[in-house]
Amino acid sequence: MSAEREKKLAAEAAAQLPEHGMRVGLGTGSTVYYLLPALAHRELDLCCVSTSPATEHAARELGMRVESFSGTEALPELDMAIDGADQVAPSGWLVKGGGAAHTREKAVAAAADRFVVIVSSNKLVERLVPPVPLELMDFGLAATLARLGTVELRDVSRSPEGGVIADFTGDLDDPAELAARLSATVGVVEHGLFPPQIVSDVFVARGRDVEHIALADPRERLASELPVG
């Protein structure tokens, strides 16, 4: 079965999770493309926030209610967020940001009581590999690039907040160590390494089946809980 079909199956399975009245964060990317119509079809009374203008536009076109997540009057927390991933390691670490929305995606995931990841089986990897998406400040950009070392700028539009999109292409032997280093580097707005602590569930489609991996306490799960295809 194709990866696209698997994405659709995983998205449709996760679309059954939200309930009436929930505040739901909507991710960005090709897998979320399948999530939106499946969610809209249920005709729930949801209050949604979006991680990108593209997702917001698509959700509104389907009749979904999308509110701003900007400013002091925005929702302070969410019941659930659903999003895809570029890589999922057995440890639970994720790489996200292939679509350059990782800063907003991480903000939404961190605000959610339950962060649900939906992927096709080809997104499961034995270990994370570069590149790791970055959003960088334009001010002092040359100095930031010098501090980071192995980084390639993307020839894409800037983020909605004006950030420069790039990819870290150096060593990724220890995701926690690299995440800490990138977070501590002045000029880095955000990076695409998502820690296991914020992941609640992973829906993995394999062929015609969808495996739901519930991670009640992500900090204590074993690597064997997430099978690698």
Q: What is the pLDDT of residues 151-188, one digit of tens each?
A: 999 999 999 999 999 999 999 999 999 999 999 999 99
Same domain, 185 and 200: no
**Greatest CA separation for the chain:** 50
Collapsing DSSP states into helix, strand and coil, what is residue 78?
A: strand
Could you list the residue range(s) of the whole structural domain that residue 183 is in?
A: 132-190
In the numeric block, which tokens belong to residue 113? 């009581």
Q: What does the pLDDT profile of the chain (229 residues) look like in tens digits?
A: 699 999 999 999 999 999 999 999 999 999 999 999 999 999 999 999 999 999 999 999 999 999 999 999 999 999 999 999 999 998 899 999 999 999 999 999 999 999 999 999 999 999 999 999 999 999 999 999 999 999 999 999 999 999 999 999 999 999 999 999 999 999 999 999 999 999 999 999 999 999 998 765 543 443 334 444 3
User: pLDDT at position 41, please?
Assistant: 97
Catalytic residue among 105, 126, 161, 225: 105
User: pLDDT at position 213, please?
Assistant: 82
37: which residues sit within 8 A by CB, 6+ positions away? 62
User: pLDDT at position 218, please?
Assistant: 42
* 225 domain-assigned: no
User: pLDDT at position 10, please?
Assistant: 97
3-state helix, strand, coil in the chain (%, to 5): 30, 25, 45
Sheet bearing 87-88, strands edge to edge: 87-88, 94-95, 193-194
105: annotated active-site residue: yes
Domain count, the chain: 2
Same domain, 199 and 181: no
Same domain, 169 and 150: yes
pTM above 0.85, yes or no: yes
CA dihedral 14, 17, 22, 26 (to 10 degrees): 0
b/e 130-167 (16+ beta carbons within 10 angstroms → b): ebbbbbbbeeeeeebbeebeebeeeeeeebeeebbbbb
Provide the H-helix boundaries in the chain.
Answer: 3-14, 30-41, 53-61, 102-111, 141-148, 175-184
* 49 domain-assigned: yes
